[in-house]
Amino acid sequence: AENEPPWGVPCTQLNVFVAMPGCDGLPSLDSKESYKLSVSEGSLLLSADTVWGALRGLETFSQLVGRDENGTYYINETEIVDFPRFPHRGLLLDTSRHYLPLRAILETLDVMAYNKLNVFHWHIVDDPSFPYESLTFPELSKQGAFNAMTHVYTASDIQTVIEYARLRGIRVIAEFDTPGHTLSWGPGAPGLLTPCYLGKDPSGTYGPINPILNSTYQFVTSLFKEVSTVFPDFFLHLGGDEVDFTCWKSNPKIRAFMKEVGFGEDYKKLESFYIQRLLEIISSLGKGYIVWQEVFDNGVKVKPDTIIHVWKENPMPYMEEMANVTKAGYRALLSAPWYLNRISYGQDWMAAYQVEPLKFEGVPEQKDLVIGGEACMWGEYVDVTNLAPRLW
């Protein structure tokens, strides 16, 4: 008959049932994100163990709702039982190569939620700029940001991001990459970086953090003490990638130190020396840590619960690296095939889609150590004018 609504009994309410109440906490690596969605005539029910699962289910529910030519909203009868394959599904944004205004970050968090991504890896500082406004060391951003008034993230900005993320079930993991990638730290922290030498004289340029000075470790302790309280997630990303040894080698005091401690010419040992002390500092602050793969590759002694972040495609194919990392008993994160900043013509989403993170030689226990991966949007050629269409 003409006047009958074609869609059956109208439904007006989605009932959401969460087994473990509590919406004030933070999402973590162990959070359960599973949910069940039941849509039948007269009944819409979303149930989940935790509020994080309910968020995922709400996203799915919103995707199921359609609209016909007459403007009527409808939804098909359906039964869904859903849960994530990997618990760490992240996105990296780089706010050092180009500053990203707050709204760009918040918008990105919205789209992450549409795609059930649950970790925002904030690569907040690097060589080109230091936008993180530190309470303990205000000079860092004053001297190191592109513009200390307009291109910084204040403590309030950061809390805004963390809360906005939390409400979407997204963890915020900050990365303060050291000892390399730290040029912007230098102007605000004199004496922190290694002065490079040309023969007997300082050349005027600087290299990685100076690993032989006590002042370095005092600084690092104080800074990370603050960072640990500002960023509530259990994990911090400590970087550790691409440390260029040339500057260290050029510095006579460092060469002397190398001899003193018996490292010889093996600067990987010096890098280890720094990283190990850094990891101890972070541990003592009660945080866990993620590091880029070089830390593992260079034989640094790390705690067994360290997470290794695999990003390089050579010299070793990343699947081999994944096998090695997990064989050694460490948890692994995969990013190597997902550097979305490396644009190319055509439907390159397919290559990203076809990656199978567990496609390496290993026993099931090893494969269990792969906790997920991250798409990376490095900022060399990215700012607010092109971030969204490049990433999504």
Mind telling me the catalytic residues? 242
What is the rounded distance in angstroms from the CA atom of residue 162 to the CA atom of residue 358?
31
Closer of 301 and 342 to other proteins (Cβ): 342
Give the closest residue to 299 by CA, choosing from 264, 267, 255: 267
Name the minimum Å distance from CB 386 to other proteins.
4
Name the minimum Å distance from CB 388 to other proteins.
8
Closer of 12 and 347 to other proteins (Cβ): 347
Site string for other proteins, 347-366 (x = CB under 8 A): x-------------------
Name the minimum Å distance from CB 339 to other proteins.
9
Separation in Å, CA 285 to CA 228, 280, 302, 324: 7, 9, 16, 29
Site string for other proteins, 325-344 (x = CB under 8 A): ----------------xxxx
What is the rounded distance in angstroms from the CA atom of residue 356 to the CA atom of residue 358?
6
- Check binding of 301 to other proteins (CB under 8 A): no
Contact of 122 with 91, CB cutoff 8 Å? no
Name the minimum Å distance from CB 348 to other proteins.
10
Closer of 145 and 270 to other proteins (Cβ): 145
What is the rounded distance in angstroms from the CA atom of residue 52 to the CA atom of residue 232?
17
Name the minimum Å distance from CB 135 to other proteins.
28
- Check binding of 381 to other proteins (CB under 8 A): yes
- Indicate which single residue of 81, 315, 345, 353 sits in contact with other proteins (rule: CB under 8 A): 345
For residue 282, give both structure tokens.
């972070």
Closer of 17 and 381 to other proteins (Cβ): 381
Give the closest residue to 42 by CA, choosing from 82, 3, 4, 7: 7
What is the rounded distance in angstroms from the CA atom of residue 125 to the CA atom of residue 142?
13
Separation in Å, CA 25 to CA 28, 119, 152, 169: 9, 15, 27, 10
What is the rounded distance in angstroms from the CA atom of residue 293 to the CA atom of residue 38?
43
- Check binding of 389 to other proteins (CB under 8 A): yes
- Check binding of 128 to other proteins (CB under 8 A): no
SS3 per residue for 60-125: HHHHHCEECCCCCEECCCEEEEECCCCCEEEEEEECCCCCCCHHHHHHHHHHHHHCCCCEEEEECC
Closer of 128 and 288 to other proteins (Cβ): 128
What is the rounded distance in angstroms from the CA atom of residue 390 to the CA atom of residue 392?
6
- Check binding of 346 to other proteins (CB under 8 A): yes
- Check binding of 136 to other proteins (CB under 8 A): no
- Check binding of 71 to other proteins (CB under 8 A): no
Name the minimum Å distance from CB 374 to other proteins.
19
Closer of 286 and 389 to other proteins (Cβ): 389
- Check binding of 388 to other proteins (CB under 8 A): yes
Binding site for other proteins (CB under 8 A): 341-347, 381, 385-386, 388-390
